[in-house]
A and B are shown apart, each in its own frame.
Chain A
Amino acid sequence: MSTPGTNNSSRSIVLHPWRLGAALLLVLMVFGRIVVQLADVHLLDRAGYAGRASGEINQVIPLTASRGEIHDRNGDILALDVERESLYVAPAQVAPAESARLAVTLGAILDMPAEKILAKLLDTSRAWVPIKRWLAPNVADKITILDEPSLHLVYEPHRFYPQGKFAPHLIGATNLNGMGIAGVEASFDSFLRGTDGVITAEVDINNNPIWSRPYNQKLPVNGNQLNLTIDSYIQHVTETELGLAVDQHGASGGTAIVLDIKTGAVLAMASYPAFDPNDYAGVDPSIYNINPAVGEIYEPGSTFKMVTIAAGLQANAFDENTQVEDKGTIHRYDYTLANFDYNGHGVMTPAGVLYYSSNIGALLFAELTGESIFYDTVDAFGFGKLTGIELPGETAGIYWKPGTTGYTPINLDTNAFGQGIGVTPLQVVRMAATIANNGVMMRPFIIKSRCTDGVCVETQPSEQGRPIDADVAYRVRKMVMKSANHYVNATQPDTNWLVPGFKVGAKTGTSSIPDGHGGYTSETIGSVVGMAPLDVPRYAVIVKIDRPQDDIWGVRTALPVYRRIVAELMRYDRIAPDHILVGENQRPGVINGG
């Protein structure tokens, strides 16, 4: 019995030579094609294939540097970068039948119009469409729960200002690209920004670098930290009081600054109306582009009489006992100049000029001083020059000096009571601080320290000059204290204290607003500037209320704000009141009406 195997093994196979040749040729052709293809891939078009492969495998992954934090003087965080999830949609992945339902659902979650979202869902011309950026964590969680494959959540760094409308003109804001556009965010943009890094590496399916493969890495350098000089509590009090006053008087705005007299550090700088740097898209750009405390000039009005008196005393052009006669009006260079009420106050000393806020008295004392010395003193106080504070948009102010084209002799007379000269609130409060600091003018500064990698460099207070002697400063302080106290009770001007229990200096001013054509509008600015406590001066404060509607006088619009801020400063600094420095019906540290 034979088996198939034995049959096959017994059958002879005949291989014709042409078959072998054909098979060999076929094999050679296949191998030849392979060789040609290999040559093409490895030699002829090597660069192209390598480039395409590299493009698919090797990715350049940007590493965004975190912007530095901004803190107040006590370490409270005012601005920081956080990563929040942004919602994107891949329209090609959206099922057309589901798009409307999805749009409505997203609209409810994101608090956005569904029509707007639907348009994005159907925008197939783009591969990746942002729906909303920087979602709150709870909102992002709701999106995640939807488990919709066309929706993608991507972490993106975002600047946050956790205190909202807090010192916005000072801190500033960043735009969508993370660039500072206002405040210290703008002036210290490069310091805060840091340097982005990059990784060039092969990536996995999730775009994560494959660390076992060769890679190039340039690590990001995070931004540096800024510590401001402001004190959150003082800033809060200043902002609150200013905002209440602006609203109460229907004013268009206002500014208040608190300076540390000894160092020049800005403890508070508030302007109203304010804005929320987290969401300023709908805000008038003039509100966030300009910091009125340093970027807007105004005529200081009667607050400038402190400079007029200080200049004459410094030059010994007159002393405390020198008298001039205030008749209410005076004729100079074809103009009639007058007091605010056209009433004369009779014979008065320099103290009387400040007490009665006499325009005529001020110009007469300025004439005694002489234009050369007067303007030298104005210049020495830093008017018409930048203060050097580390804030963007500072303006120098303007006034005509003798010998310049815009100067006429009447300028001395009008400048003596604060008209015809443009100043910033910061310049005026620095002037008050200089008088409080025995004539030593310190540069105002807002940056307490700059920190890099945990190493902080403190800003050293710097002196900007000594426009007046200590003795002159002391004599002016005594005058402004009497001036301050008489505001409390006009019928008993010397028996009450502006802030009971404390010696406080203050000078109010009410200035008209130029119309731009050489005249003035009917609108006014009420302001007050002063220092406290006078025995050991600590703080200089200015309050300015713009265009109040119910009362034009600074003594009734700005002064109450000033009193409350000063009283709060004394309490906050635990400066005990002197029980002797109280008038009838006054209690130490208590401002009537709050």
Chain B
Amino acid sequence: MSNAKTREVGAFACGQLPVCEEARVVALHLVMNPNTAKRQYMAIPLKQLFPLQQARLRRLELGRYIQLDGGRSYVAVALLLALMGVALVAQTVRVAQTGHEIDVLQTAQTQLIREHKALLLRKADAQSMQRIEKYAIDTGMIPVQSVYVQYLLLKTDHGQLTVNDTVVR
């Protein structure tokens, strides 16, 4: 084959040539058969060899596929419905997500309110006079009674007597 003189006579779509049965795109070569000393055509698949030609052929045939005539409107409607469906699904998913987020936030809010109330309760406990007194006594302090209080007289710069704040003895 390597010694054969070949000449490419053109590229054809499969089906245009009788020699083509499987290859969809072939190059038709004119070769000399050494056994018969006759020239004959040989189809060589071009798929791997000539992708650009292949693409060109597909482009040439594309018109045939998009010749939908009356079917175009059905396709358009189907596409529209599909798009609407996608939009609806997307919207539903989004609403569901938002609903879930609201649910999570509300749960968090409820938890925070409970914590807030619990902290208020602790604060109120801490403010309780009885608890403060008990805590003071438990820690060894004694209630301040009037006998423990002494008021002192201090002299001012002008030599007058005045009374200061309470001093605990």
Residues of A bordering B, CB below 8 Å: 69, 76-78, 80-83, 137, 155, 160, 162-166, 208-213, 232-233, 235-236, 501, 564, 567-568, 571, 574, 576-579, 587-592, 594
A594 touches B146 (CB 8 A): yes
The answer on a CB contact under 8 Å between A80 and B121 is: yes
Contact of A160 with B121 at beta-carbon distance under 8 Å, contacts A166-B128, A576-B163 already known: yes
B103 within 8 A of A: yes
- Chain A residues, CB < 8 A from B88: none
**B102 → chain A closest CB, angstroms:** 5
Residues of B within 8 A of A155 (CB): 114
Chain B residues, Cβ within 8 Å of A578: 163
The answer to whether B118 has its CB under 8 Å from any CB of chain A is yes
Contact at A77–B114, with CB atoms within 8 Å? no
Contacts of A577 in B (CB 8 A): 151, 163
Q: Is the CB of B124 within 8 A of A212?
A: no
Q: How far is the CA of A24 from the CA of B113 in the complex (A)?
A: 66
The answer on a CB contact under 8 Å between A82 and B151 is no
How far is A155 from B100 in the complex, measured between Cα atoms in Å? 22
Q: Are B149 and A571 in contact (CB under 8 A)?
A: yes
- Residues of chain B lying within 8 A (CB to CB) of residue A501: 151
B residues in contact (CB < 8 Å) with A: 92, 95-96, 98-100, 102-103, 113-114, 117-118, 120-121, 123-125, 127-130, 133, 145-147, 149-151, 153, 163-166
Q: Please report the C-alpha to C-alpha distance between residue A157 and residue B103 in the assembled complex, in whole angstroms.
A: 21
8 Å CB contact of B99 from A77, A160, A211, A579: A211
**A587 touching B150, Cβ below 8 Å:** yes
In whole angstroms, what is the CA distance A155 to B114 when docked? 10
Contact indicator B121/A82 (Cβ below 8 Å): yes
Question: Is there an interface contact between B117 and A81, defined as CB atoms closer than 8 Å?
Answer: yes
Query: Within the assembled complex, what's the spacing in Å between the Cα atoms of A165 and B120?
Result: 18
Contacts of B120 in A (CB 8 A): 69, 77, 80, 82
* Secondary structure type dominating chain B contacts: helix
State in angstroms the CA–CA spacing of A236 and B134 once bound together: 13
Tell me the bound Cα distance from A81 to B113 in angstroms. Answer: 11
Chain A residues with CB below 8 A from B145, complex form: 594
Query: Separation in Å of the A73 CB from the closest CB of chain B?
Result: 13
- Is the beta-carbon distance between B123 and A574 smaller than 8 angstroms? no
Q: How far is the CA of A307 from the CA of B129 in the complex (A)?
A: 37
Cα–Cα distance between A165 and B133 once the two chains are bound (Å): 14
**Contact in complex: B128, A588 (CB < 8 Å):** no
Q: Are A164 and B130 in contact (CB under 8 A)?
A: yes
Across the interface, do A589 and B151 meet the contact criterion of CB distance under 8 Å? yes
Q: How far is the CB of B134 from chain A (nearest CB, A)?
A: 11
14 pairs of residues in contact across A and B, judged by CB atoms under 8 Å:
A78-B124, A81-B117, A83-B113, A166-B128, A166-B130, A236-B129, A564-B146, A576-B163, A577-B163, A589-B149, A590-B149, A594-B145, A594-B146, A594-B147
Chain A residues whose C-beta falls within 8 Å of the C-beta of B163 in the assembled complex: 576-579
Q: Which residue of A lies closest to B95 (CB)?
A: A212
What A residues does B127 contact at CB under 8 A?
A: 76-77, 162-163, 232
